[in-house]
Amino acid sequence: MTMLPFTRPAIGEEELQAVREVLESGWITTGPKSLALEQALADYVGGGVQVRLFNSATSALEASLLVAGIGPGDEVIVPAISFVATANVVLRVGARPVFVDVDLRSRNLDAAAVAAAVTPQTRAVIPVHFAGLAVDMEPLYALAEKHDLLVLEDAAQAIGSEYQERKVGASGNPVCFSFHPNKNMTTIEGGAVASNDADFLDRLEQVRFHGMDKDSEGNIDIVAWGGKMNLPDVNAAVGLAQLARLDGFNRRRRELVQQYFQRLSASDVLVLPVDAAGHSWHMFCVCIDHNALGKTRAGILSLFNEHGIAVGTHYPAIHLFSLYRQFGYGVGDFPVAERIGEQTLTLPLFPAMTEADVEQVCATVTAIVSGRL
């Protein structure tokens, strides 16, 4: 039986030729292709921002926190549902992540939850645009201004998403993207930061590459601590080819999602995600109440596998991981996030899917929630 994956990168002749050209050029590490992709991303996002590439979104988030001077004694507010990197980078710089609960259908935090978590030690908030759905940022920006907080947007899942008819990333505050193979566009591995703060961007470059500062004559000085977080030109070449196709990828994702909505019916047992303008649909995540069906999630996953469908489980609630229980977090602290973590299933979604694929998935979901499987 051929398995339908829950995601698959869209790699074609454009990407293969782009990589070949870089490999044949003799210059395969960070160079002209990386600079070209930074400019192309800045043009795509708009808002007058500049972009700096990194080897992952995790590195981009970590570097942004370091440049902002966030460290020991500071608190950073993060949603209890995200990929764990959102919280791990906070620990990595020595600060403490403070979790807040999320909405069941959008899986995004809101300003009211953040406001309730602010303390004198709070220095930043990291909203996550979950699955490509933009967080309602306007009240969050106002709250951040009131309390003098850094807003560092985790847009790892939101390249091409829009908020108030502008691309996510055009706001000017630091916004981090991911180009992992399961994202809407890929550089194989990679990430980026968009910002309109020139000094912030200069310091990002230092953190990205050994703390190095170079003058116009090529003389170097090491002015601060820096890591090794740069993106090679081979990856950037893939990214340039992918960026040219991104809007088409996202259009196809929206078409497939509308088919999901047409074929699936929300119920007490099946929670569907929010459909909204500007959504780039990185993932299509549902919650199935397996307890109400007298099943386990493992049992439901097995049913999908038996019908040739691979599904994901994105994501467990972060505060219940052993690493974060040491801060006193436990079961019951964030009930919505915990429900999502226990019940979530990520249904297949990628541009090469067909209408028949969607129909197969929906037929299986419907049979499960109706008790026929």
Residues designated as active site: 183
In one-letter notation, the amino acid at residue 117 is A
260 prior amide bond cis, ω within 30: no
CB 351 within 8 A of CB 7: no
* 17 three-class SS: helix
How distant is the alpha carbon of residue 288 from its chain centre? 23
Query: Which is it for strands 175-178 and 50-54: parallel, antiparallel or unpaired?
Result: unpaired
d(CA 327, CA 346): 29
342 exposed, middle or buried (CB, 10 Å; 0-12, 13-18, 19+)?
A: middle
What DSSP assignment string belongs to 71-140? -TT-EEEEESSS-THHHHHHHHTT-EEEEE---TTT----HHHHHHH--TTEEEE--B-GGGPPP--HHH
